[in-house]
Structure 1
Amino acid sequence: MLPGLEKISTKIRGLTHAISHITRSCLPWTVASLPLEHSPAQPRASGKAERKVGRLLNVHPATLIINHLFTSLILVFQLSGVCGQPSTPIDQNQGAPGTAKAKLGNFPWQALTIIYGRGGGALLRDRWILTAAHTIYPKDSFFQKNQSVNVFLGHTDIEEIIRLGAHSVRRVIVHPDYRPEEPNNFEGDIALLELEKSVLLSPNLLPICLPDNETLYSSGLMGYVSGFGMERGRLVSQLKYVSLPIAKREACEAWLLEKNRTEVFSSNMFCAGNRTIKQDACQGDSGGVFAVWDNTTERWMATGIVSWGIDCSKGYGFYTKVLSYVDWLKSIMEGKA
């Protein structure tokens, strides 16, 4: 638990104890002393068992309710404001080639979007989804622009996450620099989806943090990309992830020239991957985040968004540099834009 939240929890526990003491002093009842027909509801059992429970508890029913209420409040305080701290962290030392299946709680910020097809995203705070603009307005101009936006959260199994139900989207905000009519330019490939209602945070559903410094983009730094996209030509049924190093910009520029590519590779993008080890994000992963561990804050940061590439696992992948857009993101989420 974070130090500030620990202090709050301690105060709440102290208050709970004080209320419990006052309640017992002023109203010295026990569950057993109440008439049976007025006793709090219990699981169906024998009358003897009910009376035994009452004697063991020796508390007023209101105290039980208050204790439950404050326990719930402690949980709320623990989760509020906490980002980038998964309940089941991945083993950062497992740099084995290839993808791996994610466990529940590894990437609790992971969102599945279904708009024109599968896409990804990440939970920010408790009601925002960070994603790529091109999953909403594809570069293919023949697509309609009023497609429904479906967001799913809270599981690593595709059937289970869909069974949990879609979260209604209140608002879609695409960065003004994004140009869907320019097929070779993914500048501004970033968007926010505001959910209709705040989600109930849990160990399997937690937000990721936004980056705050350039050191998170150092070449060689490892990041993790997760998604429900393509693998070996087929859509996966389980959330997969891959670890990728941030590549040197010069290496990616040279590779694009070698391939005679004309895509824009601006300062608001970065590249990741390794030409010798064929690992990469793929179709269906777009919009998911490139997550980097920050040793200073000990939290995971959404430093990039899966944006574009040339085929899959055949070189480098290119990502929207989230740090370039943090001010814009915060202005939207804080209602200043």
Structure 2
Amino acid sequence: MRQKMDNEKNDPSCKSSDLKISNISIQVVSVPGKLPGRRPPRKPIGKPRPRKQPKKRAPFWNVQNKIILFTAFLFILAVTAWTLLWLYISKTESKDAFYFVGMFRITNIEFLPEYRQKESREFLSMAKTVQQVVNLVYTTSAFSKFYKQSVVADVSSNNKGGLLVHFWIVFVMPHAKGHIFCEECVAAILKDSIQTSIINRTSVGSLQGLAVDMDSVVLNAGLRSDYSSAVGSDNGCSRYLYADHLTLRYPLEISATSGQLMCHFKLVAIVGYLIRLSIESIQLEADNCITDSLTVYDSLLPIRSAILYRICEPTRTLMSFVSTNNLMLVTLKSPYVRRLAGIRAYFEVIPEQKCESTILVKEINSFEGKISSPYYPSYYPPKCKCTWTFQTSLSTLGIALKFYNYSITKKSAKGCEHGWWEINEHMYCGSYMDHETIFRVPSPLVHIQLQCSSRLSDKPLLVEYGGYNISQPCPAGSFRCSSGLCVPQAQRCDGVNDCFDESDELFCVTVKPACNSSIFRQHGPLVCDGFRDCEDGQDEQNCTRSIPCTSRTFKCGNDICFRKQNAQCDGIVDCPDGSDEEGCGCSRSSSFLHRIVGGSDSQEGTWPWQVSLHFVGSAYCGASVISREWLLSAAHCFHGNRLSDPTPWTAHLGMYVQGNAKFVSPVRRIVVHEYYNSQTFDYDIALLQLSIAWPETLKQLIQPICIPPAGQKVRSGEKCWVTGWGRRHETDSKGSPVLQQAEVELIDQTVCVSTYGIITSRMLCAGVMSGKSDACKGDSGGPLSCRRKSDGKWILTGIVSWGHGCGRPNFPGVYTRVSNFVPWIHKYVPSLL
């Protein structure tokens, strides 16, 4: 009652009459012993009093209560909407996060054992430094508003020295714009931020103060599940194992019967050694690696381009894999384990093997020894290389190679999936099959080089070798299959595939030449062509040079037939009148005599084979015209994903002043030598095919330069010319607008090696030991032109490759020795033959 009264007294909206009624009412109901409002009112005695009107109760759904309820409803609705919105944003952010995983090598910082401990001050300091550098790179890039963070996962030692940093980069953006995050785009931003040295011509450059090896930079798109495991938010089954004993086997064993299995084994060995992982058994669901897989990486993070091998089905056969560095990552994924799943394996530390040897072969028609792929019987690692040199005891013996479940065939332009072979400068591709093959090399001296696949580890190879009689590769009464196998002659054309490749069943209706026929001896097309077609050799007996030439010989200008194949245009005068070297399409002009020693502006039209290569509209490298549609340049001009794409390149021919070319063509194709080494610049050569062949009407301004004969010997002290639009001084900031020329001399190879130390037989030095005459940046890929005294032709002796500075005393320029690549050039440009 007090509360109600006080409320009414304090309510300014109440009238005075209301107050009186209220007071009276209070007096009536407040009689002692009476409970107000609990019984009916008394009847009046005497004069009736006015009947009191009962107070009306306020209805529940009045305006005030409605406002309160509506306000509460809006509050609950807002809280619910905010919660749902927060959940949606959180869920949307996870879907629209893009993860990239990568690594690079820092060359000028020594590794400390404390870097292995993620909680150590040393690791945290280094991780913070690298993250700050990567943050700066991407916050100042075109992706800055989408960039979220970078996380350093591992800092490890490596066999090349310095630190190997493994890291993650995270971007967040609307799902509809996710297509702009291509690997090449994100990687290009990082690589373009590395400032390489123009003077030293090395791959190590500065990344915001860190000395980073450009060639070590790898960046691939990654998975969120891998990111969670790497940064520690979803560790699951993750182990870091360091091995420092050569004689121990470190076990890797884990299994599960239900749930999920997500394991990461990071394996690290001591510096200078490799890791061999041996898998004894593995239980997986065979589903082509859609969900279940065991993957071996040549890194400490799941970088796709560093995959060594992937297993997608259960196996109990021992398999082993070798890393290319001192680290390895093994991931085992089975998100839906329905039965026993797991792995039994071990790893060990092994030394790096040198796969090269010189072998003397003595036996005839039998196999006396074996060679194998590196680390046999392990799968051989990618990018490995083996070299074998075979020497027979007799000049009449060749080398026979018997491959087990493997075969080699002539290499095509598509490349080789399972390794490529160079056998006496001829290229072959390897492939696996279900039977053995024999390959014979008809030479007493055989040089063999195996270049392993550049993508994944591959099955081990075992090859037997032995000698054979070159004149009779198969025993008497046998037939030689195209694969090299020998089968009995009686089994040929019997309807049975004895050669595996069906070569014994091909051409079975072909009739051998009637060598005993007088008609054959007099008019046969195979007579006196320089090839022995009859068993007794009568087709080549009593031959004279007056016999008409055939398709397999070359006819000199005086009707003399020269039996040597490919004698024409090989740079060697075989015909007495020199007609075999005439009309070969390379420049012989004798007007190029006046030069200014030390480098100067050339005269227009002086070097008609000189080409300027433009990348995205800017002059970048040089090249040389060798045919109507082919150019020769340096491989390092096209090293990298963007530079190897021919689309941004254009070739400017017949040009004297930059921008005033007589002919411009887009580049259709770039063929970089498969052995090119970006560390040493070995095999620094590339072919470019033009989209449009230059017209014959411009032959006075555009002429090809001659390719030297294979194995051409050069003389030290010989004068040659280097040309290009590159920088005229080492400190120049841009190239020359006018084509420059400088006379240099060929330097003795011994002096060249003593100067640089890493000179191979595929390089040569040229310059002036006192300095001042040299190539420089922008001249790369251009010609080193030497004039042959015998016929006045200009020969492409070298290709501008590398050197220490430009024109420094005692540091001549280093050029690619073109004569060592003639067979390689002819393989792609057969018109030069």
Counterparts of 1:168 and 1:83 in 2: how far apart (Å)?
Answer: 23
SS at match of 1:327: helix
1:319 lines up with 2:830 in the alignment? no
Partner of residue 222 from structure 1, selected from 698, 716, 719: 719
| Residue of structure 2 equivalent to 1:27 | none
Q: Which residue of 2 aligns with 1:287?
A: 781
Matching of residues 1-150 of structure 1 within 5 Å: 81-86=584-589, 88-91=591-594, 94=595, 96-115=596-615, 117-137=619-639, 145-146=644-645, 148-150=648-650
Q: Equivalent residues in 2 for 1:165-314 (5 A)?
A: 166-180=664-678, 183=679, 185-201=680-696, 202-212=699-709, 217-232=714-729, 233=732, 234-256=734-756, 264-314=758-808
CA drift at 1:277:
3.8
Q: Distance in 1 between matches of 2:737 and 2:704?
A: 23
SS at match of 2:665: coil
Q: What SS does structure 2 have at the residue aligned with 1:229?
A: coil
Q: Which is worse superposed, 206-215 or 227-236?
A: 206-215
Larger strand proportion of the pair: 2
Structure with greater Cα Rg: 2
* Contact kept? 2:710, 2:820, Cα under 8 Å: no
Pick aligned residue for 1:328 from 817, 821, 824: 824
Describe the superposition over 1:147-174 as per-residue Cα deviations: whole angstroms up to 9, x where unpaired: 621110012111212xx45302221111
Q: Measure, in 1, the Cα distance between the counterparts of 2:638 and 2:756.
A: 26
Distance in 2 of aligned mates of 1:200 and 1:80: 17
Structure 2: distance between partners of 1:320 and 1:191: 11
Aligned residues with identical type, % of pairs: 28
2:663–2:694: 8 Å Cα contact kept in structure 1? no
Distance 2:672 2:751 in 1: 30
Structure 1 counterpart of 2:224: none
State the distance in 2 between where 1:87 and 1:125 align.
Answer: 20
Distance 1:144 1:236 in 2: 22
Q: Whose helix fraction is larger, Structure 1's or Structure 2's? A: 1
Structure 1 residue matching 2:706: 3-state secondary structure? coil
Q: Name the aligned partner's letter for residue 89 of structure 1.
A: F
Q: Structure 1: 5+ residue runs without aligned partners?
A: 6-78, 258-263
Question: In the aligned structure 1, how far is the partner of 2:815 from the partner of 2:797?
Answer: 9
| Separation (CA, whole Å) in 2 of partners of 1:286 and 1:271 | 14
Q: How far is 1:274 from its partner?
A: 2.1
Q: Secondary structure at the match of 2:659?
A: helix
What one-letter code is carried by the residue in structure 2 that aligns with 1:318?
V
Q: Say which SS state the counterpart of residue 815 (structure 2) adopts.
A: strand
Q: Which runs of 4+ in 1 moved over 4 A?
A: 213-216
Residues 270 and 319, structure 1, Cα contact 8 Å, conserved in 2? yes
Following the alignment from structure 1 to structure 2, what is the Cα–Cα distance between the partners of residues 145 and 213?
27
Q: Structure 2 unaligned runs (5+)?
A: 1-555, 558-581
Identify the residue that residue 59 of structure 1 maps to in structure 2.
Answer: none
- For the Cα contact (< 8 Å) 2:710–2:823, is it kept in 1? no
Between the aligned partners of 1:280 and 1:81, the Cα distance in structure 2 is: 30
What CA RMSD, in Å, does the superposition of the two structures yield over aligned residues? 2.5
AA aligned to 1:166 is V
Q: Which has the higher contact order (CA 8 A, sep 6+)?
A: 1
The answer to whether the Cα contact below 8 Å between 2:722 and 2:742 also exists between their aligned partners in 1 is: yes
User: Any idea what the Cα deviations from partners look like across 1:271-290, whole Å, max 9, x if unmatched?
Assistant: 01122142100000000011
SS of structure 2 residue aligned to 1:326: helix
Letter in 2 for 1:174: V
Q: CA deviation at 1:82?
A: 2.5
What corresponds to 1:32 in structure 2? none
Distance in structure 2 (CA, Å) of the matches to 1:144 and 1:301: 28
| CA offset digits 1:190-244 (Å, max 9, x no partner) | 0110112221242110000001165651100011111010013131000001010
Amino acid at match of 1:189: D
Change (3 A) 1:144 1:295: closer
Deviation by residue 1:287-327 (Cα, 9 ceiling, x = unmatched)? 00111111123200001000000110012100000000011
